[in-house]
Amino acid sequence: MVHLFSLLIFVGFMGTWLVSVIPEDVTKVVQTYILASVLGAVVVQAIVSLKQLRATIIAIVVSASVVFLLVPAIPSLAFFSTAIAVIATAVLAWFLRDRSARLVDDSEDAQLADTHNR
């Protein structure tokens, strides 16, 4: 409860006040660079921790395609570009996943279950 209350005060009220005091030009520049740096850090952390090369390559190709091909061709989709990239990456990563790795896991699970049943 203390944590939520302090978030409400410091982030909710004081953060809103602080943003209203800062000039609009500075706020736009900060939003542009902070959003990109936070998302970049999250992406790098996800790539390093998941260690899935195939999904990483799919995500890079889809993102580059959306940014450099789709949005310039259809500018009205710029607002939805992040959602398009995320959904397309998830769908392609699902359909292009390595199915042989899962089959090995299933056979090992079946062997373990058979061993426990004896």
pTM: 0.53
Would you state the pLDDT for residue 103? Answer: 56
Would you state the pLDDT for residue 117? Answer: 59
Would you state the pLDDT for residue 92? Answer: 93
Would you state the pLDDT for residue 33? Answer: 83
For residue 113, report the phi and psi dihedrals to the nearest 5 degrees.
-65, -40
Tell me the DSSP string of the chain. Answer: -HHHHHIIIIIIIHHHHHHHHS-HHHHHHHHHHHHHHHHHHHHHHHHHHH--HHHHHHHHHHHHHIIIIIHHH-GGGGGGHHHHHHHHHHHHHHHTS-HHHHHHHHHHHHHHHHHHH-
Q: What is the pLDDT along the chain (118 residues), one digit of tens a residue?
A: 888 888 888 888 888 888 888 898 888 888 778 877 888 888 788 778 878 888 888 888 998 999 999 999 999 988 888 899 999 999 998 998 877 766 555 556 556 666 665 5
